[in-house]
Chain A
């Protein structure tokens, strides 16, 4: 595509955490207001709202959320909700990027929200489980942690690996969240604590799992022409987008320990941006469980198959490593308000590249990558972001 890549003009997040008393509309209104303030873009210029949400019908008895969220943001423009499980706002980002690049819009409000804690652990576990195949997985007792545990054991069986190696990923991501004011968990943990935590779905235990999170994310995506015309301070562009798909049920996948949807999304996004993997300074990947970070790094092509399990333990993906991963704290420690996550990764990557993130000093380069996965990676969306050098 020849058109100039769109720019991120302003970003907003709520605190990611436990806010059972706050409605989804209130969360999104806060994130959107922050994004508008950051961007300095008038609401009257917004052409549309691209919004991600997964289980609003179950947790808030609220479908048709997009116009509601536009209202909450102070808008009455066209608004559409995207639902792709945990990749809901990732696909909203992708569609927004394509729309601006196609020349069909100059200013879009992009984001997502999820309210989860108001239905408790049992309710949110039930809600998340429906991202799996109802007939052949949910009815066989598959939970969301259980599905990733099936992949973890398959990975261990094929390549080796240990719960200790996974614990190093949790420790790393908790460390990265310490200074992130938006993060749910801002306390350090050690490997021993993670290994000895209670089992959720073996071999995954408590600290292998992301928390149940309420929160919202939003940013304003503008065309390069609009940014130039309005003299916006918008140094970060989304230069590549890609999406991949796979069979919904694990039992139907060609491989239980690899995620071809991520591989396809990454291949498309890197080619779209015209960059090689060694140009990437950091990655925000979908670590809903520690094993998911391993699968993401291998699917993205940063590691060969079977090689990413020890990346955190070896210090390669820590903040002072060659490829810092999840400097925000990731889903694991920053939190995972499902429908907000993909757009939140773009927000965090933008802040990291702009230099106003508490962990920006760990970024040595101009290119960041975000990776957002749906379900057990039946959907994957990858974006490449670059900052003006």
Chain B
């Protein structure tokens, strides 16, 4: 890969891309402070209490906290619509991702994280029902 960053070859987003790599390898994690507040990287301090952060394993499944089925997407998601955007609780942290299978989806359902690709080539976090 060329070192020159172009729209077709964008610069990586540091720890975010590393986190996606980990989720794709079933080695998902989140960042936690000693008070138990959870966050996704990149973070240097806990935004709630200012404490130091350390890595914890991401639970294998989460519970749907809320979701919406999007019919009018942004241009970069045009090929995906309709799709569901899901916010799910994974213990101390919430994740926001896309469910491509959403028929009958309800708050409280169980979802699992995975990394998918969009038609435009970008990766995205999937939270599909299990």
Contacts and interface: CB of A to CB of B under 8 A. Distances in A.
Interface of A: 121-123, 125-126, 129, 135-143, 145-146, 149-154, 157, 198-204, 247, 249-252, 256
A151 B68 CA distance: 9
Interface in B6-39: 13, 16, 39
Interface size class of B (residues with CB under 8 A): 20 to 34
Interface of B: 13, 16, 39-40, 47, 65-78, 80, 83, 85, 87, 93-98, 107, 122, 124-125
Nearest to B102: A202
Given A126-B75, A135-B16, A252-B94, A150 B87 contact: yes
Contacts, number: 98
B10 to A, nearest CB: 12
A204 B85 CA distance: 13
Given A140-B85, A256-B66, 10 more contacts: A123-B75, A135-B13, A136-B40, A138-B74, A139-B125, A140-B124, A154-B65, A157-B107, A251-B87, A251-B95
18 contacts: A125-B74, A126-B74, A140-B97, A141-B80, A141-B83, A141-B85, A141-B98, A143-B70, A145-B72, A146-B70, A149-B70, A150-B66, A150-B85, A151-B66, A153-B66, A199-B71, A201-B68, A256-B65
Contacts of A136: 40, 95-96
Where chain B touches its partner, the secondary structure class is: strand
Where chain A touches its partner, the secondary structure class is: helix
A129 B74 contact: yes
Contacts of B98: 140-141
A252 B72 CA distance: 25
Given A126-B74, A137-B96, A200-B71, A252 B47 contact: yes
A146 B66 contact: no
B71 A247 contact: no
Of the candidates A121, A151, A153, A204, the one having the most CB atoms from chain B within 10 angstroms of its own CB is A153
